[in-house]
């Protein structure tokens, strides 16, 4: 039961946190945040996978392709277990 309430709290924080609102994820600040989170990953394979997805997300962001940016960002998040 404790595990469930921790998860529920975590999800509530994600939902409420402006940093994790979908429309706010494709920006330099969040990219920096992602870089930091990926740098802390311990699984080398997943780390590389997440970094690759994030690179594609950054490339899409530079082109002004928010949908593409979100798509690759989502991939990176999934690899990171978010």
61 binds Cu ion (CB under 5 A): no
Q: Is 73 near Cu ion (CB under 5 A)?
A: yes
Q: Are 38 and 51 in contact (CB under 8 A)?
A: yes
Residue number with CB closer to Cu ion (34 or 60): 34
- Judged by CB, which is closer to Cu ion: 9, or 27? 27
Least Å distance between CB 66 and Cu ion?
Answer: 13
Measured between alpha carbons, how far is 12 from 56 in angstroms, rounded to an integer?
Answer: 28
Rounded Cα distance, 27 and 69, in Å: 10
**Chain centroid offset of residue 16 CA:** 15
Whichever of 2 and 16 has its CB closer to Cu ion, that residue is: 16
- Report phi then psi at 36, rounded to 5: -65, -40
Residue 53 touching Cu ion (CB under 5 A): no
Query: Would you tell me which residues interact with Cu ion (CB under 5 A)?
Result: 34, 73
């Amino acid at each position: 039961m404790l595990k469930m309430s921790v998860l529920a709290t975590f999800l509530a924080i994600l939902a409420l946190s402006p940093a994790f609102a979908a429309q706010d994820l494709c920006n330099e600040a969040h990219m920096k945040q992602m870089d930091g989170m990926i740098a802390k990953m311990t699984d080398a394979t997943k780390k590389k996978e997440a970094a690759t997805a994030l690179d594609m997300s950054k490339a899409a962001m530079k082109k002004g392709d928010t949908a593409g940016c979100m798509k690759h960002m989502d991939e990176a998040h999934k690899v990171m277990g978010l």
